[in-house]
A and B are shown apart, each in its own frame.
Chain A
Amino acid sequence: DAMVIQNPRYQVTQFGKPVTLSCSQTLNHNVMYWYQQKSSQAPKLLFHYYDKDFNNEADTPDNFQSRRPNTSFCFLDIRSPGLGDAAMYLCATSRGGAYNEQFFGPGTRLTVL
């Protein structure tokens, strides 16, 4: 089945220690998104890639970076995680174009010690 896969599902890191979260997709979608979701809140868009074009949200901290080496993979790098970065990180994809229904991965829950 075509899908969005996130690894790992659970990640524990230490305060200030860089961490990378991974997302892959078999949908061959043009757009890949990263969201941060804190408990009982709506997902907050951090950035997205439309093909190779990177689009950062204005309020995304510099501490968050992303890479998309090819169509299938996208990575979220947190350079120096703080306690406030503990959250669920959701990856999503969409086809692009006029209608952009988004398909979500299961998420990676990040704990910062």
Chain B
Amino acid sequence: AQTVTQSQPEMSVQEAETVTLSCTYDTSESDYYLFWYKQPPSRQMILVIRQEAYKQQNATENRFSVNFQKAAKSFSLKISDSQLGDAAMYFCAYLIQGAQKLVFGQGTRLTINP
């Protein structure tokens, strides 16, 4: 069975600094996708960044980037120049190609200190 593990239940960072959230996953599949979702307090879950497993290049979206280590089954999220609006619960998620079901990690609550 596929599992996703986020080992950091909570993280905090000073505004304008960089923080890295960890995620590991377990799968025997070769074709899959990885996602980081952001869920601010009482607000909608939105996609932050996605990574296709067949791509070696790490995905980047503005201040958000990932470090995808396929052999190690690791998928960490780096947030640069942290802003107060980045405060949220962050979920790492995994999706097998062609499947319908997202497998979520337990989440990491990120606090930004002004």
Interface residues on B, range: 20 to 34
Chain B residues at the A interface, C-beta cutoff of 8 Å: 33, 35, 37, 43-47, 50, 89, 91, 95, 97-102, 104-107, 109
Given pairs A42-B106, A43-B104, A45-B102, 19 additional interface contacts (CB within 8 A): A40-B109, A41-B106, A41-B107, A42-B91, A42-B105, A42-B107, A45-B101, A48-B100, A50-B100, A90-B45, A94-B100, A98-B98, A100-B95, A100-B98, A100-B99, A100-B100, A101-B95, A104-B45, A104-B46
Chain A residues in contact with chain B, CB under 8 A?
Answer: 31, 33, 40-43, 45, 48, 50, 55, 90, 94, 96-107
Cα A98 to Cα B54 in complex, Å, equals 14
Q: Count of A-B contacts with CB under 8 A?
A: 48
Secondary structure at the A interface, as helix, strand, loop or mixed, is: loop
Min Cβ gap A63→B in Å is 21
